[in-house]
């Protein structure tokens, strides 16, 4: 705007209005959820690393099967958390485009 020689006061007002138009609550929530997703994904990768070779191919493609019920429960919990947070992120994206 300055290159177009728009009056500074008008440029400031346009900037203020533009910034106020952003859905900051949604942006902040999406950012928090993205950080949470990355943390949960890291926990799942650590679980795989710590328990490498302790699973077999499960009946569903791409889903490991654990004989140890504690490992199976931990795996399912991590997977559920990722799914939940992923769905919440998708909800925030949908809310942004409304």
Per residue, the 3-state secondary structure of the chain, as one string, reads CCCCCCCHHHHHHHHHHHHHCCCHHHHHHHHHHHHHHHHHHHHHHHHHHHCCCCEEECCCCCCEEECCHHHHHHHHHHHHHHHHHHHHHHHHHHHHCC
- Flag whether pLDDT at 1 surpasses 70: no
* Distance, CA of 37 to CA of 85 (rounded, Å): 6
**31-59 pLDDT per residue, tens:** 999 999 999 999 999 999 999 999 998 88
The reported pTM is 0.76
Whats the size of the chain, residue-wise? 98
The pLDDT value recorded for residue 12 is: 86
Radius of gyration of the chain from its Cα atoms, rounded to whole angstroms: 22
The pLDDT value recorded for residue 96 is: 83
The pLDDT value recorded for residue 10 is: 87
- Flag whether pLDDT at 6 surpasses 90: no
């Amino acid at each position: 705007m300055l290159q177009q020689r728009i009056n500074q006061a008008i440029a400031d007002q346009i900037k203020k209005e533009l910034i106020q138009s952003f859905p900051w609550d949604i942006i902040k929530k999406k950012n928090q959820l993205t950080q949470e997703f990355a943390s949960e994904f890291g926990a799942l990768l650590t679980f795989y690393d710590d328990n490498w070779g302790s699973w077999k191919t499960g009946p569903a493609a791409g889903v490991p099967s654990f004989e140890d019920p504690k490992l199976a429960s931990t795996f399912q919990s991590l997977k559920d958390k990722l799914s939940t947070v992923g769905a919440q992120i998708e909800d925030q994206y949908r809310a942004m485009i409304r």
